[in-house]
Amino acid sequence: MGFKQNTMFSIVGIILCFILFVVGMLYAEQTPLLIIVGILGLGGMGYLVSRIVTRAMKNQN
């Protein structure tokens, strides 16, 4: 897969993880288990952003 396709998948993943985070935090009072979903969404966003940054830095060199 090319750089652009990998980056596009990562961006879509970041958006989905952000939605998980928001939903998890909005409904955490009603269903405490959703706190875990929110934390996983936040962790996923961090991981995918780090992948994009690492790939961009490698391509710069």
> Could you tell me which residue, 1 or 7, shows the higher pLDDT?
7
The residue among 49, 50, 28 whose CA lies nearest residue 38 is 28
Q: What residue spans define the domains of the chain?
A: 3-60
> Could you tell me which residue, 22 or 61, shows the higher pLDDT?
22
Q: State the residue for tokens 């990562």.
A: 10
Token readout for 17 is 């993880």
The pLDDT tens digits for 14-58 are: 999 999 999 988 988 888 888 898 899 999 999 999 998 998 888
